[in-house]
Homo-oligomer: A and B are copies of this chain.
Amino acid sequence: MTSRDGFQWTPQNGLKQGVPSIGVISPSTKITSDTPWDVIVIGGGYSGLTATRDMYQMGEELEPSFDFSRGVNYFELRTDKHSTTMSHEEEDTLLATALEKFVNVDGDMGRIIVPFPYAGFHNPDARKYDKMSVLDRLNVISQSLTPNERTGLESFILLCSCGTLETTSFFEFLHWWALCGYTYRGCMDCLISFKFKQGQSSFAIKFFNEALSTGNLSYAFNSPVKSIQDEDKKVTVTTRDGRSFTASCLVSTIPLNVLNDITFNPPLDPIRTQATKIGHVNQCVKVHAEISNKDMRSWTGISYPFNKLTYAIGDGTTPAGNTHIVCFGGQHNHIQPEEDVNATKAAVTSMAPGNMDIQRLVFHNWSKDEFAKGAWFFSPPGFISSSLDALRQRHGNILFANSDWAIGWRSFIDGAIEEGTRAALTVKEELRSTPLRSHL
């Protein structure tokens, strides 16, 4: 169709009004309902076309994790042999320099290899980096890294993957780097610098309340799933305690590392099954410590490789006026923090000897959580190349939605939203094409 809008000029025809467009709707009117309607939308641009929901009206609910306005205001780098402190500007320079050497596989900081973070293998050359571990890449650039750069770089990578250098895919790290805008500053902004004032629960509860307000939501917590039976036009879920639920279709958000514990009938395809057996490598140990030293609010530190926790920052001030320190460890030098609290306390205090007077520890053991078996997704070499497509497929009437196989912010909350959205769109389209029943 040709629009009335716009002009064309050519040497042959001179100036003519109207340009071709696939966006011209024909016929231009369709009015079938009786008036009055519930709502009229004036305008057919993107605002008019968009009719969905908004759970992001929390723009003023963010606050910075870091506060370098007072106190010790330094970065503490501790290795097996040396300890040093430096300014946060020096910390940024050290990590940015090291990271840029690490990711600069193409002379443009990875932009050529992963030009579109939402299409990771758009450049097919990216696949070869998925065959490499981060250790493989470190070996390539090892002669160009100072010892401090190497320590900072390794601990930063392990902060992301919480695996080991051998089990962390270099491509997946490049993917994170691309998502973060191809800069160290972008990584800090996207990965660690900001948080919700009232915590993640203040965000999650909005999703739940909105779903509840439809009046169409039934729910059952504390009902671990044992098996899922897919039949011709229905799916039946059976819980461990023997209850059954049947529906036309099912959205499974069961994470990768847990999927293998559920019995599917018919069984999942071989590629997905194999992928669930391999799993992802993130065994993050995240320990929150409340310490009495107020000056530590502006502290950051790396203790690596000797320590059971490797990366930590001052993350807030508690109601009691103490400093909240958040510490990260992982598969490298792994610890089960509740099994030996004294060892956990020692790992915290060893990050800044003399400055960690612990008043409280708070943590969740993601590795031993039977419904997680790890923290956020991070892939081993070869995993994304071989398994991502299969993990995104449906299985009969079962759709799989989890950030573990998102295309964009894979492993982040954003990726979970991406996946939930994807599943919901499919469900909505399929329900529409079947006769109306209970979704009135």
Question: Interface on A for B, CB 8 Å cutoff?
Answer: 5-11, 14-15, 19, 21-23, 25, 28-54, 56-57, 59-60, 62, 64, 115-116, 118-119, 122, 181-183, 185-186, 189, 198-202, 204-205, 207-208, 211, 213-223, 225, 234-235, 237, 245-254, 337-338, 341, 344-345, 358-365, 369, 401-403, 407-408, 413, 416-425, 427-429, 431-432, 437-440
Contact = CB atoms under 8 A, between A and B. Distances in A.
B363 A64 contact: no
A50 B424 contact: yes
Given A46-B204, A59-B118, A253-B42, A37 B248 contact: yes
B51 A424 contact: yes
A278 B52 CA distance: 31
Contacts of A64: 115
A60 B10 contact: no
B253 A45 contact: yes
B424 A28 contact: no
A41 B237 CA distance: 10
A15 B299 CA distance: 26
Contacts of A201: 21-23
Contact of A50 (B5, B7, B39, B207): B207
Contacts of A253: 41-43, 45, 47-48
Contact of A416 (B45, B204, B214, B359): B45
A338 to B, nearest CB: 5
Contact of A359 (B11, B38, B52, B202): B11
A199 B23 CA distance: 10
A421 B248 contact: no
A393 to B, nearest CB: 15
Given A116-B59, A247-B40, A363 B403 contact: no
A3 to B, nearest CB: 9
A40 B424 contact: no
Contact of A42 (B213, B250, B408): B250
A186 B360 CA distance: 41
A252 B48 CA distance: 8
B338 A7 contact: yes
A4 to B, nearest CB: 9
Contact of A53 (B48, B369, B425): B425
Contacts of A50: 207, 401, 416-417, 419-421, 424
A15 B28 CA distance: 68
A418 B403 CA distance: 23
Contacts of A423: 47
Contacts of A421: 50, 52-54
Q: Which of A33, A365, A421 has the most CB of B within 10 A?
A: A421
Given A220-B31, A221-B29, A250-B39, A204 B23 contact: yes
A228 to B, nearest CB: 8
Contact of A362 (B7, B208, B428, B438): B7
22 contacts: A7-B364, A9-B341, A10-B361, A29-B221, A35-B246, A38-B249, A38-B439, A42-B237, A42-B251, A42-B254, A45-B253, A46-B413, A46-B417, A47-B420, A49-B204, A50-B421, A52-B421, A53-B421, A54-B421, A56-B118, A59-B118, A60-B122
Contact of A44 (B33, B189, B221, B359): B221
A22 B38 CA distance: 35
Contact of A248 (B6, B38, B213, B250): B38
Nearest to A245: B40
Most buried by B among A48, A253, A361: A48
Given A30-B219, A421-B50, A249 B36 contact: no
Contacts of A10: 359-361
Contacts of A408: 59
